[in-house]
Amino acid sequence: MNIYKAKDDKYFTIGCFEPWLWGNLCKLVGREDLVPKHFGSFEEQQESYQALSEVFATKNRDEWLKSLDEADVCVAPVYNFEEMFADPHYRDHKIVVEMEHPKLGKVKLLNTPFKFSDTPAAVRTRPPLWAEHTREVLGDLLGYSKKKIDRLLKEEVIE
């Protein structure tokens, strides 16, 4: 799998693990001479990558995505954050959720990537405030006494 830069400075990735996919790619870009180098030496693969990079710099990303998809080549855009969050797949899969934060109002958070039918996972809490859980972490998890935590707070070792 390789990432290529298009004329509009946007990126896309191509994965041609099967020889027939590689053949489709080489045919599309008019570089059938690269077909035998699919599983070639490191140097041959570097030469192929350089040759394809030069070809892909001639058109915009979306033009290449359409052409490559129509040629039956495994291709996907490499999104920036704005593009990623605007993609319908991300919205449909609820990749981002909104929660209320006591200081920031509504905040957007990445949802859990796991989707289970019987035990659905979800974001249950907002991001903590600075030092919000200091007492719980030191006391409950690390076994510090209330007296020791109070002393650390007073000495400004912790907040």
Please give the average per-residue pLDDT across 130-156, as a whole number.
94
pLDDT at position 65, please? 97
Angle, CA 22 vertex, CA 78 and CA 51 arms, to 5°: 70
pLDDT at position 90, please? 80
Could you report the per-residue pLDDT of 17-26, keeping only the tens digit for each? 999 999 999 9
Structure-token pair, residue 113: 């990537």
Could you report the per-residue pLDDT of 12-68, keeping only the tens digit for each? 999 999 999 999 999 999 999 999 999 999 999 999 999 999 999 999 999 999 999
pLDDT at position 52, please? 97
Buried b vs exposed e over 82-111: b needs ≥16 C-beta within 10 Å? eeeeeeeeeeeeeeeeeeeeeeeeeeeeeb
**Which one is the CATH code of 2-78: 3.30.1540.10, 3.40.50.1240, 1.10.760.10, 3.40.50.970?**
3.30.1540.10
Structure-token pair, residue 95: 């990749």
Measured between its terminal Cα atoms, the distance across the chain in Å is 47
The answer, yes or no, to whether residue 122 has pLDDT greater than 90, is no
Helices (H), 16-156: 19-28, 42-56, 61-70, 81-86, 88-92, 134-135, 146-154
- Domain extent listing, the chain: 2-78, 93-127, 128-159
* Sheet bearing 11-14, strands edge to edge: 2-5, 11-14, 75-78
Q: Are 83 and 30 in contact, with CB atoms under 8 Å apart? A: no
CA 33 to CA 39: how far, in whole Å?
13
